[in-house]
């Protein structure tokens, strides 16, 4: 049995259009079945998960678990990055659920996944940093960031219109987006390029099914960079049809490489997203923090880790 009060579940009740809140009864049932003593607490506003994760760590919880989506786990991770003695995990209850793929779990748990989850297999994973903002999955510039900018009135507040409005923004941006010039510095190499879309990542999957960086390994100490250069309309459709299978990286319009840090600069401020959170900047200092976060994962699933670097399933201080 897990030591009493070593676990806390931080629920974002609005994640997955309210699915996370409805899923709490299942969480409670699984806690009871596997004899796990845990507290369940709810977020009440944007950024609250960060506050709750920090206070939970200070109170002595060792396993700090999110129930929600990518934004929820990003908030929970922020105060725990680089700190020893804590393990974070995610019960996927969001919409896109891209981060959970890194850990080898599916978008929705079946009972067998709960069993694996409570076996406490943990591993250190890398974290990305862009202008001091952390990302667990990835950050993006260009087309996808512009879609986010069109769809948000301000960071964290969605415009009225829902899914169909979002689809309209994708179509409109695909048709009318104008690439900008950017300067990239990787190590001692400096170059200029146009940017239809530039993704820098720890994980592989974005937007629920697009494998933009299909070679990414979450504990190799490297960032995967996928820069899609200026495209005509036909090329845009062709590339986007290739992205779900990750075959776009062989296209001559795509520059794909790995690095531990990269700097990017534009002439003016442009939108960018960090794990889906919208921001604006002109210059970008992006780097990897190797092994900065201890996470629960599924060793039997299709995870994105080097297994020869696997840590013990229960290797934290108690």
Q: Judge whether residue 253 has pLDDT over 80.
A: yes
Same domain, 106 and 151: no
Tell whether 315 is covered by a domain.
Answer: no
- Same-domain pairing of 166 and 283: yes
Q: What is the pLDDT of residues 228-245, one digit of tens each?
A: 999 999 999 999 999 999
Q: What is the pLDDT of residue 1?
A: 40
Q: Which of 84-93, 135-144, 148-157, 268-277 has the lowest mean pLDDT?
A: 148-157
Q: Whole-angstrom Cα distance, residue 8 to residue 36?
A: 10
pLDDT of residue 315: 38
d(CA 63, CA 143): 37
81 shares a domain with 185 = no
Q: How far apart are CA 295 and CA 63, in angstroms?
A: 9
- Please state, as a whole number, how many other Cβ atoms lie within 10 Å of the Cβ of residue 276: 23
pTM over 0.95: no
Provide the sign of the torsion angle of the four alpha carbons 74, 75, 78, 84, taken in this order: negative
User: Are both 178 and 214 inside the same structural domain?
Assistant: yes
Residues 78, 100 share a domain: yes
Quickly count: other Cβ atoms within 10 Å of residue 74's Cβ: 24
Q: Is residue 198 part of a domain?
A: yes
Are residues 142 and 214 part of one domain? yes
Average pLDDT over residues 4-30: 94
302 and 271 within one domain: no
How many independent structural domains does the chain possess?
Answer: 2
Model pLDDT, residue 47: 94
Whether residue 275 contacts residue 136, with contact meaning beta carbons closer than 8 Å, is answered with yes
Specify the length of the chain in residues: 318
3-state secondary structure of 104: coil
- 55, 137: one domain: no
3-state secondary structure of 47: coil
Average pLDDT over residues 187-195: 90
Task: Give me the pLDDT at residue 152, please.
Answer: 67
Does the pLDDT value for residue 155 go beyond 80?
Answer: no
Residues 279 and 137 occupy one common structural domain: yes
The CATH code of the domain that includes 172 is 2.60.200.40
Considering the domain architecture, whether residues 282 and 170 belong to the same structural domain is answered as yes
208: number of Cβ within 10 Å: 13
pLDDT at 166: 67
| Alpha-carbon distance values, 235 to 115, 241, 279 (Å) | 45, 10, 28
Same domain, 141 and 248: yes
Residue range(s) defining the domain that contains residue 151: 133-289
pLDDT value, residue 201: 97
- Is 127 inside any structural domain? no
Residues 173 and 246 in one domain: yes
Residue 18's CATH number:
3.40.50.10330
């Amino acid at each position: 049995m897990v030591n009493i009060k070593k676990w806390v579940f931080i629920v974002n009740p609005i994640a997955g259009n309210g699915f996370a809140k409805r899923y709490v009864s299942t969480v409670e049932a699984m806690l009871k079945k596997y004899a796990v003593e845990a507290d369940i607490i709810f977020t009440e506003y944007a950024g609250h998960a960060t506050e709750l994760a920090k206070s939970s760590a200070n109170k002595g919880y060792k396993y700090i678990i999110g129930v929600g989506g990518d934004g929820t786990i990003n908030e929970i991770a922020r105060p725990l990055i680089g700190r020893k003695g804590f393990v974070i995990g995610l019960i996927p209850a969001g919409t896109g659920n891209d981060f959970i793929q890194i850990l080898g779990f599916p978008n929705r748990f079946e009972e067998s996944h709960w069993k694996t989850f409570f076996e406490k297999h943990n591993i250190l994973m890398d974290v990305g940093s862009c202008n001091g903002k952390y990302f667990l999955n990835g950050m993006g510039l260009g087309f996808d960031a512009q879609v986010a900018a069109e769809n948000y009135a301000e960071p964290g507040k969605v415009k009225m219109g829902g899914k169909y409005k979002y689809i309209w923004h994708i179509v409109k941006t695909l048709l009318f987006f104008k690439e900008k010039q950017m300067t990239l510095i990787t190590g001692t190499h400096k170059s200029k390029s146009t940017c239809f879309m530039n993704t820098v990542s720890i994980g592989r999957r974005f937007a629920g099914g697009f494998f933009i960086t299909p070679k990414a390994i979450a504990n190799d100490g490297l960032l995967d960079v996928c820069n899609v250069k200026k495209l005509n309309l036909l090329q845009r459709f062709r590339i986007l049809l290739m992205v779900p299978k990750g075959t776009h990286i062989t296209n001559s319009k795509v520059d794909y490489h790995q690095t531990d840090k990269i700097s990017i600069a534009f002439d003016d401020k442009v939108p960018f997203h960090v794990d889906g959170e919208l921001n604006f900047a002109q210059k970008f200092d992006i780097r990897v923090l190797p092994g900065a976060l201890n996470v629960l994962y599924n060793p039997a699933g299709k995870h994105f880790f080097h297994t020869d670097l696997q840590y013990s399933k229960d290797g934290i201080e108690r």
